[in-house]
Amino acid sequence: MKNRIYKKVLLGLGFDCKDGHVRITKGKNFRLYGGSKETHGLMQEKAIKFNEHLGKKRKTLNNLSKKEFYDIAKKIGLHVPQNLKDK
């Protein structure tokens, strides 16, 4: 069996595409699939901002606590369910 290295990534899925165009963006720490042009652009913006915050903290998704994850998500304007904000 091969040695595998598992790496956490942000996954963005857009389901509002009506023009038939397949949009895929892969970047450091994220994979984005689908969505309208507008939705895909918003996902790209949020993923880039999330990475910027990771860089400021000198962290990776692999060593980020849940609280830190949700704090960053909230700062960049992602919806964080109320019952998860303080965990």
Q: What is the pLDDT of residues 50-72, one digit of tens each?
A: 999 999 999 999 999 999 999 99
Assess if residue 1 is contained within a domain.
no
Can you give the residue range of the structural domain that contains 75?
A: 10-84
Cα–Cα distance between 61 and 81 in angstroms, integer?
19
pTM to 2 decimal places: 0.84
Assess if residue 71 is contained within a domain.
yes
Assess if residue 2 is contained within a domain.
no
Assess if residue 78 is contained within a domain.
yes
Q: How confident is the model at residue 80 (pLDDT cuts 50, 70, 90)?
A: confident
Interstrand relation of 24-27 and 30-34 (parallel, antiparallel or unpaired): antiparallel
Q: Decide if 16 contacts 36 (C-beta within 8 A).
A: yes
